A = this chain, B = another copy of it.
Amino acid sequence: MEILKERILKEGKVRNGDVLKVGTFLNHQIDIKLLEEIGKEFKKRFSDCDITKILTIESSGIAIACMAAQSFGVPVVFAKKNTTKNLDGGVYSSQIYSFTHGKTYNVVVSKEILLADDKVLIIDDFLANGKAVQGLANIVEKSGASLVGAGIVIEKSFEPGGKEVRGKGIRVESLAKISAMSPDGKIEFED
């Protein structure tokens, strides 16, 4: 997706060699117009699929999932990282290790909103180690729903997650695939 790649090159900042900051437009400040285009692109890529629900994980995935959900005309469900007193009744849960935060989260989705006849598209901002997508896929499996695939805004294809997730038979569509980042700030895309 060209406008996305251009934006990454223009505003993305490489930190510590492997961290890409895109907080000016994707996951801290959100450029709604760009996300509308991202949502349309996901719809185009999964146009052959009958999707009934978009599943993401708090917090960075929510805005992207919402704009995708507009294109698909379906609701969003976002998995919560902690059980709070606002989530009672049964939940589907999975353990997800976050490399960004250096800890394992218990991620939950209420049973009443993920149903066995749902056809689910996972949406997230980044795919690097693939733990979030695999944890969400695990929740979809527990619910008995069908997993259609995963739509990712930025895949770091030099990290192992993409290969691992695809190796499990999950269809992954990434709008920008970064093949290399260097400490001096250079970003290279696949193709």
Which residues of A are interface residues toward B (Cβ below 8 A)? 15-16, 19, 21, 23-24, 27-32, 35-36, 58-59, 62-63, 66-67, 69-70, 73-78, 80, 82, 84-88, 100-101, 109-110, 112-113
18 pairs of residues in contact across A and B, judged by CB atoms under 8 Å: A15-B88, A23-B87, A24-B112, A28-B77, A28-B80, A28-B109, A28-B113, A29-B75, A29-B76, A29-B110, A29-B113, A30-B75, A32-B70, A32-B75, A59-B59, A63-B76, A63-B78, A84-B101
A109 vs B23: C-alpha distance when bound (angstroms): 10
Tallying the copies of this chain within the complex gives 2
* Contact flag A113-B32 (CB < 8 Å), given A63-B63, A63-B66, A101-B82: no
Residues from chain B with a CB closer than 8 A to the CB of A59 are 58-59, 62, 78, 80
Q: How close is A81's CB to chain B, nearest CB, in angstroms?
A: 8
- Of B23, B36, B86, the contact of A110 (CB 8 Å cutoff): B23
Of all A-B residue pairs in the complex, the 3 with the closest CB atoms, nearest first, are A58-B59, A29-B113, A30-B76
Residues from chain B with a CB closer than 8 A to the CB of A15 are 85-86, 88
Residues from chain B with a CB closer than 8 A to the CB of A88 are 15, 21
A32 vs B70: C-alpha distance when bound (angstroms): 7
- Of B23, B28, B113, the contact of A23 (CB 8 Å cutoff): B113
A23 vs B100: C-alpha distance when bound (angstroms): 27
Residues from chain B with a CB closer than 8 A to the CB of A74 are 32
A35 vs B100: C-alpha distance when bound (angstroms): 30
* Contact flag A30-B77 (CB < 8 Å), given A23-B110, A66-B67, A113-B23: yes
- B110 contacts A28, C-beta separation under 8 Å: yes
